[in-house]
Amino acid sequence: MASVMESIKKKKQEIASKTNRTKSAKPLPGKNRYRLLPTWRKEADGPVFVEDGKHFIKDIDPATGKEKIQAVYNCDAIVNGTACDVCDALAAAAHSADIDDSTLNLLEEAKARGVILFNALHVTGPDPLVPIVLALTMTTADQVFSMIIEYDDAGVDMLSLTAGIDLIIDKTGSGFETRYSVIAAPKSAPVDASVMKSINDLDAFVAETDEARVKALSAISVVSGVPAIGRSASAGALTDGTKKPTAEDMDIDDEVPDFDVEKLAESAAKVEAEIKTATDDTPELKPTPDELAGVSEDDILIHDVTNAGLAAQLALLEFPDAPYPIGIFRQVNEPVYGEWAE
Ligand SMILES: [Zn+2]
């Protein structure tokens, strides 16, 4: 019966990883032992972790008055380091003129927070041979990375099945007071290589579909009453809270170019040349009185360095079509490792 259960569990895990429905798990409260696993890819030197961050777009359910998740989307900015339409739409919606506090709160909660995902065995858990997707906060992952580097310097691969080292993660407190401390286990047993058969494909885990993006953008529109927009949308659309999204508004894929190194180098050279010749009175960058007519204070978007979506939008401005932004795009207040450890 044990082997039947094991094969069922394995199958379940396989199906889950195929359908991308496996849920990531945070370390459990108290002291728990985890073993990080090697890469899920075929090549031996493949990655052992991915960065993930989910946008949970919630609305208030009128029947219960409680928050209800309408869409979930893996943030492109966090996962791929590319512009994220969902971040942009959240930022645009939050800066809309007629947004109330409770909607603003929903938009704030829909921002993605980065985590690091590893394949791991929960050695002290009920299924110690089933790889889970372990989600670590950035500060906890930082501790783990330091440890991996230290052991590597000493010639030990912490993630090796045979010679690897278990981590003991101690979770204390809850909510904002949650603290994780990580130590290496004094003694670790080898891991049976068969666990790799049910390893989670973390590439698939963070991959997103166009459908999910459209669903997320549409959910933001519904929650905020602000149409979802692509990056080429006009300033007018940013503040027009009454305009309903059209199919065209949603179809923004074509506006996001693929990453192209040659093009980037070309545009960098172009910018450099243009900055050399540009002067303060470059006429096309100054709004004309006509363009300013009817613009109220509410129409003006003030940059907020704590807003990742706005920072991403600033980063997309390209001279000479737009002003060349200089200054602090993004500022994050996080304890540095030394402070945290105390
Ligand atoms: Zn995003």
What's 130's domain CATH number? Answer: 3.90.198.10
Does residue 71 lie within any of the structural domains?
A: yes
Does residue 286 lie within any of the structural domains?
A: no
pLDDT at position 243 over 50 = no
Does residue 292 lie within any of the structural domains?
A: no
Q: Which of 60-74, 88-102, 113-127 has the highest mean pLDDT?
A: 113-127
Interval between CA 8 and ligand 1 midpoint (Å): 36
* Average pLDDT estimate for 96-115: 89
Q: Provide the pLDDT for residue 186.
A: 92
Question: Which range of residues forms the domain containing residue 47?
Answer: 21-210
Asked if residues 259 and 76 have their Cβ atoms less than 8 Å apart, the reply is no
Q: How many domains does the chain have?
A: 1
Interval between CA 130 and ligand 1 midpoint (Å): 30
Interval between CA 284 and ligand 1 midpoint (Å): 31
Selection from 16, 46, 42, 54 nearest residue 204 by Cα: 16
Interval between CA 109 and ligand 1 midpoint (Å): 12
Does residue 78 lie within any of the structural domains?
A: yes
Interval between CA 91 and ligand 1 midpoint (Å): 10
Interval between CA 164 and ligand 1 midpoint (Å): 35
Question: What's phi and psi for 73, nearest 5 deg?
Answer: -145, 130
Interval between CA 156 and ligand 1 midpoint (Å): 37
d(CA 52, CA 221): 24
Q: How confident is the model at residue 14 (pLDDT cuts 50, 70, 90)?
A: low
Asked if residues 234 and 251 have their Cβ atoms less than 8 Å apart, the reply is no
Asked if residues 120 and 34 have their Cβ atoms less than 8 Å apart, the reply is yes
pLDDT at position 27 over 90 = yes
Does residue 255 lie within any of the structural domains?
A: no
Does residue 250 lie within any of the structural domains?
A: no
Task: Tell which wins on pLDDT, 135 or 275.
Answer: 135
Ligand 1 ion: Cβ-proximal residues, 5 Å cutoff: 75, 77, 84, 86-87
Does residue 56 lie within any of the structural domains?
A: yes
Q: Provide the pLDDT for residue 284.
A: 59
Using DSSP, state whether 57 is helix, strand or coil. Answer: strand
Selection from 146, 114, 117 nearest residue 34 by Cα: 117
Q: How confident is the model over 152-206, as pLDDT tens digits?
A: 999 999 999 999 999 999 999 988 888 999 999 999 999 999 999 999 999 999 9
Ranking 33-42, 182-191, 330-339 by mean pLDDT, the lowest is 330-339
Q: Provide the pLDDT for residue 137.
A: 93
Q: Provide the pLDDT for residue 237.
A: 37
Q: Provide the pLDDT for residue 129.
A: 94
Residues of 305-318 as b/e, b for ≥16 C-beta within 10 angstroms?
Answer: eebbbbbbbbeeee
Q: How confident is the model over 117-155, as pLDDT tens digits?
A: 999 999 999 999 999 999 999 999 999 999 999 999 999
Does residue 334 lie within any of the structural domains?
A: no
pTM score over 0.85: no
Interval between CA 243 and ligand 1 midpoint (Å): 23
Interval between CA 72 and ligand 1 midpoint (Å): 11
Interval between CA 90 and ligand 1 midpoint (Å): 9
Interval between CA 247 and ligand 1 midpoint (Å): 21
d(CA 119, CA 115): 13
